[in-house]
Amino acid sequence: MRLLTRIISAALATAFSAAGSAKEPAVISEIEMVDVKGGTFTMGLDESEAEHLFETPKHEVTLSDFRIGKYEVTQDLWEAVMGDNPSISKGDKLPVENISWNDIQLFIKKLNKLTGKKYRLPTEAEWEYAARGGTLSEGYAFIGGNEIDTTAWHFHNADKHTHQVGLLNPNELGIYDMGGNVSEWVQDWYGHYSEKPQKNPKGANKSETGKILRGGGFGNLPEYNKPGCRFVSNPNFKSQYIGFRLAE
């Protein structure tokens, strides 16, 4: 009887210990989003402006209303959701980087389960429209202004590393770091632009070339921080120069 009592006591102690050490559910702070009123804009560049031919031709795109992250996704948010931090440069309010497009899909799935929201990556068209300032666009040379040092961390001012999100000036919509800091994955597979007008385009159905990235990073020259610039990479690719922001 005494032995049985000891066994039961030990079992209860183990159970209470396990319960006490159980991991607390992640607490996700409110993610600041910017409401973007839909409209029609000219997407892409002409050959005299483009760094690459796949940024041409210019074409008319019409978008519905959507929401986009005020800031790039930060390391503290990533860690709260995923439980790790893959970034090369560490800091809670630095943009998370060194993550693939596929990694982001897992992050978003977990984030939506935790929050009950329907976050996603922005489409390429949504990203460019927001970068240009949407209906408030002033037609600046760079994203957010004509003086790039005031709006973007790039090759000449970033000192070879990322910076806390939101330190420089926002663009016309109040969105920070769309140019510079890190390039950003978007939802679309790479595809050639069409000259025909489009409504809420989603990109190619599939592409062996890869997924689209937008916005120059801290390692890019200033000219790659223009709103029409495109980049493409394999969805498994990871780099300290690449992060993302959310959309709804």
- The pLDDT > 90 percentage for the chain reads 79
- Residue 63, domain CATH: 3.90.1580.10
Q: 63 pairs with which residues across the strands?
A: 39
Has residue 52 been placed in a domain? yes
Q: What is the pLDDT of residues 75-124, one digit of tens each?
A: 999 999 999 999 999 999 999 999 999 999 999 999 999 999 999 999 99
What is the distance between the alpha carbons of residues 216 and 184, in angstroms, rounded to a whole number?
8
Has residue 227 been placed in a domain? yes
In three-state secondary structure terms, 109 is: helix
Whole-prediction pTM: 0.89
Report which residue type is found at 138: E
Has residue 2 been placed in a domain? no
Has residue 135 been placed in a domain? yes
Instruction: Taking residues 140-146, report their average pLDDT.
Output: 93
Has residue 85 been placed in a domain? yes
Within 10 A of 5 (CB to CB), how many other CB atoms are there? Answer: 9
Provide the mean pLDDT of the chain.
90
Give the structural domain span for 96.
Answer: 32-243
Backbone angles phi, psi at 69, to 5 degrees: -60, 135
Has residue 58 been placed in a domain? yes
Looking at the structure of the chain, the number of domains it has is 1
Which range among 4-13, 180-189, 218-227 shows the weakest confidence by mean pLDDT?
A: 4-13
Q: Residue 125 half-sphere exposure, CB side, CA atoms within 13 Å?
A: 26
Has residue 16 been placed in a domain? no
Tokens at residue 18, please? 């396990």
Has residue 155 been placed in a domain? yes
Plot region of 145 (φ>0 → left; ψ -120 to 50 → alpha; else → beta): left
